[in-house]
A and B are shown apart, each in its own frame.
Chain A
Amino acid sequence: MPELKVSKISNGTVVDHIPGGKGLDILRLLGLNAVSEKTVSLVMNVTSSKMVKKDIVKIEGRRLEDKEVKSVSVIAPEATVNIIEDYEVTEKQRLDLPERIDGVLECPNPHCVTNTDEPLQASFVIDERNPVVLRCEYCERKFTSSDLDV
């Protein structure tokens, strides 16, 4: 059995099967940084039987909300989200890219009306699924996951 590089978490969320190198994008997307006060582990480029290389993110003490899970699916549509309670996996969710994503991601277009003072949240429809292309419902521009300032 291979040696574990990062210890298990007691309570929180593990996002597994993230495409190799995309783990940092997931951290940014979820707002996990030095000021977020959560213990976060990122394991990059792990050898995987299903994927060439995968990343894993472990977040201690935080259960992802549904809308956060949806946004993770834009960057890692094949990922799995495991909810951990008392060191055990109590819920395993295979991601499914939704038809649309509302109120989670910001539109990368600075001239989009959703980036003004208007009481309005950005809303995207999934235009293409592989690779993922999102279209802003307001400014109508198309973006790939790498365009998103997450």
Chain B
Amino acid sequence: MKENLISVNDLTRGDIESFLSKASEVEELSEGEASDILPGCMLSTIFLEPSTRTRLSFETAMQRLGGGTINLAEEVSSIEKGENITDTGKVVASYTDICVVRSPYEGTARMLAERTNIPVVNGGDGSNQHPTQTLLDLYTIKKEFGGIDGLKVGMMGDLKYGRTVHSLAEALDHYDVEIRLISPEETKMPRDIVEDVGIQEETTEMKIEDLDVLYATRIQKERFPDKEEYERVKDAFILDEDRVKGMNEESIVMHPLPRVGEIKPGVDELPQARYFEQAQNGVPTRMGIILELLGVDIDA
């Protein structure tokens, strides 16, 4: 049966570790000359929402592995003419060996996975899941600390609409970590996730000094039904140099990017800043995901 990567909720700790190991194995191939592990192999991307890092790092990952890519954007596709995602997805999938899909509609990737015969990867579906981001986040944490168990992780910002924190919280549930949620009342994490994950602490105060990992997020303006509510919370938590200097030097600050003001540019120069390395880790992580889903062993 073909493998897909749709939701962190489908993964065991063993599955997560397999993806992270594969990423680690190919890390040295993620820079420099392209390898010839997957010659002639094609990856398609169907992105019905804007993306910079996810799409480009998947394309880079496939090209570094020696394969090729095709991509479809809504504004130049048949979807714009009224074709449904199912039909478009089936056709695009028939041209390629693996497909990454991003959609504002939650569950789109699972629907396509059921209707195509190639591996489907969820590149983000509405406010639901972003599992490849989660794997690169975990890869970054593991690379930095040598492991994930025993850490104190804070998630801050838009915990209601931000899919990256939903996926990350669910994945961290497989590890022995302490999680603190930091957000305004208006953007608290959905109750069902809080209950499932067994969150230790929720606060509306910016309590970050004792954390090992601070995962900051952007307030998701595009998902707020009430623009006045967005205006009330958009500047709720701004991370500046003074705040970060109050953290341990060994701690790290992560962010899935793009940022729109929640981390001041001055923080970039501090030893805790890791968000650009995190984005860079997207390439080996997604190389690992492609290989794992295609069942390719690089030693073979």
Contact = CB atoms under 8 A, between A and B. Distances in A.
B128 interface: yes
A113 B7 contact: no
B33 interface: no
Given A138-B106, A141-B192, A113 B127 contact: no
B100 to A, nearest CB: 16
Nearest to B190: A141
Nearest to B127: A111
A140 B126 contact: no
Interface in B50-87: 84-86
A34 interface: no
B145 interface: no
Contacts of B108: 113
Interface in A25-69: none
Contacts of B127: 111
B180 to A, nearest CB: 23
Given A118-B111, A138-B111, A140-B7, 19 more contacts: A111-B104, A113-B85, A113-B105, A113-B106, A113-B107, A113-B108, A113-B110, A113-B111, A116-B84, A117-B84, A119-B86, A137-B110, A138-B107, A138-B110, A139-B107, A140-B9, A141-B106, A141-B192, A142-B192
Interface of B: 7, 9, 84-86, 103-108, 110-111, 125-129, 190, 192
Contact of A116 (B7, B9, B105): B105
B106 A111 contact: yes
B107 A112 contact: yes
Given A138-B111, A139-B126, A140-B7, A119 B106 contact: no
Contacts of A114: 107
> Nearest 7 CB-CB pairs, A to B?
A138-B107, A139-B106, A113-B107, A113-B105, A142-B192, A139-B107, A111-B126
Interface residues of A, number: 17
A63 to B, nearest CB: 32
A141 to B, nearest CB: 7
A109 B7 CA distance: 18
A118 B192 contact: no
Contacts of B84: 116-119
11 contacts: A111-B105, A111-B126, A111-B127, A113-B110, A116-B85, A119-B84, A119-B86, A120-B111, A138-B110, A140-B7, A141-B106
A81 interface: no
A15 interface: no
Contacts of B192: 141-142
Contacts of A112: 105-107
B78 to A, nearest CB: 13
Interface string A124-150: 000000000000111111100000000
Contacts of A138: 106-107, 110-111
